[in-house]
Structure formats: C-alpha cells, structure tokens
Amino acid sequence: MAEQRGARRDVRSGLEGAPEVAEPRGSGVREEEARAWDALVATARRTVADGLVVGTSGNVSVRVGDTVLVTPSGVPYDRLTPADLTGVDLTGRQVRGTLVPTSELPMHLAVYRSTGARAVVHTHAVHATAVSTLVPELPVIHYMTAALGGPVRVAPYATYGTDELAENMLHALADRSGCLLQNHGTITYGATLDQAYDRTAQLEWMCRLWLTASSVPGLTPSLLSEPQLKAVEERLRGYGQRGAE
C-alpha cells in the first residue's frame, strides 16, 4: 500500500526554524547492518527508477541475523540516509531507529517467519497489478515462471497492512518465491536483495508480456504445459556461474 499516509516518529526535525541535524545510526548498530541498510536504500530507489512503484508506495526489507531492516513509512526513498536506519525483530518490536516501519510490516515478517528468505521486495507494479484484477493465477506465458517456483498465484484481496493480507499472501506463496496481491501489487523474496528484486522485475515483465499477447484481437497466446515447465526447472538448477547466488 502507498506509504504516504503512514505516521512517522521523525526526531531529526527539532524545534521549528532550527536547522535539521542528522542523528547517528544509533547505538548497537553493527557494520553488517549498516552495509545492509545502504543496499536496501539502493534497492528501494531502484524500484522507483524502474517504474515499479510511485512515490513511497511499495517497500523493501532485508534480514540481518534476527533483525529485519525495513523501509520506513512515508519517507521518499531519495531522502533516506544512514541516520534513517529502521529495524525490528521477528515479532515486530522496533529495535533500530526512530522512524515508524512500513505499514506492510506484517507481510514482510510473515515471509521471514515462514521461509528462509533474507530479503523481500513489495511493489505496486502496473502490469502485475492489472493482471491481479483479471485472473486467479498468471497464465504460464514464459518459462521464467519456473524461476518463481511455478505458476504465480494471486492472493485474495485484503486491506493493506493487515494480518489477513499477510495470511492470504502466505497461501499464495506456498512453494513459490513470489505472488500477486489482488488489486494491490506484487511481493517476492530471495536469498539476497538482488535476487528478490530480480524476481520482482521478472514477474512484472511476464505480466506485461501476457497482457500484450492476450490483447491481440482474434488470437489467444500459447501457454507452456506442466511438463515443459518442469523441464525448465531442471535446467535452472544448473544455471549461472558456479558458486554464484
């Protein structure tokens, strides 16, 4: 959900008319967390640059040990600084920073508690959101469907930021690394921020592909069969450089 309406506890403003002074990251922040925060901010900005979100909609998180760093609510990504580092534990208790975490925190935590995810990306990508309003599952239009674990399901609609939405999402994510959220957007996860982001981008591209192909009058797109998709899954297991993620 768009984060513009989220509340925030911004302690950097000070008294009216006083110059804004950035606070340090905060006591107890480890170097590993600082590096992860920098990568998280870069990923969040990338979602805007690539047109997957508008303004402060969508959100990004990364897990470092038992701490989940998340984008804060209502802060434009181009304004995030090292002083804005925001983190919670796996119960949702804030343990880093003073800014209010994203309103979609229940979804992020549900993914971390239920999978081996180390990073989560949630967007309001246009084509993926459009598809989420049309079908209960993205038709298997391309073999990259296999990279997400199989046909991408659509989680039934629920109000943003609720446990109901998180529960619907978990059902749609069963044996998958990404799903669509009805009338809302996408969510994907991965072992790294780069992998989670790449899955988001691939999902949006496949949705755009299906919408484009299915819009041709008088023609119906050919879809891949289950055996064809299984064959791709086998090949993907050996894809990429040895030792790489």
Q: What is the pLDDT of residues 68-107, one digit of tens each?
A: 999 999 999 999 999 999 999 999 999 999 999 999 999 9
Q: What string of DSSP letters covers 10-23?
A: -TTS-STTSPP-PP
The one-character DSSP state at 197 is: H
18 vs 41, more confident: 41
Listed range (10-14, 73-77, 90-94, 237-241) with the worst mean pLDDT: 10-14
Query: Measured between alpha carbons, how far is 145 from 95 in angstroms, rounded to an integer?
Result: 37
pLDDT of residue 28: 76
Query: Measured between alpha carbons, how far is 198 from 14 in angstroms, rounded to an integer?
Result: 39
pLDDT of residue 127: 98
Q: What is the pLDDT of residues 100-150, one digit of tens each?
A: 999 999 999 999 999 999 999 999 999 999 999 999 999 999 999 999 999
Residues labelled as active-site residues: 104
Ramachandran bin of 153, using left for φ above 0, alpha for ψ from -120 to 50, beta for the remaining angles: beta
The CA–CA distances, whole Å, from 201 to 27, 85, 128, 148, 181 equal 35, 25, 10, 11, 15
pLDDT of residue 242: 54
Half-sphere exposure of 128 (CA within 13 A, CB side): 28
Supply angle C-alpha 148, 91, 158, rounded to 5: 55
The fraction of the chain above a pLDDT of 70, given in percent, is: 86
Residue 189: enclosing H or E segment and its boundaries?
A: strand 185-190
pLDDT of residue 8 exceeding 50, the answer is: no
Beta pairing partners, 69: 62, 87
Question: pTM score, two decimals?
Answer: 0.86
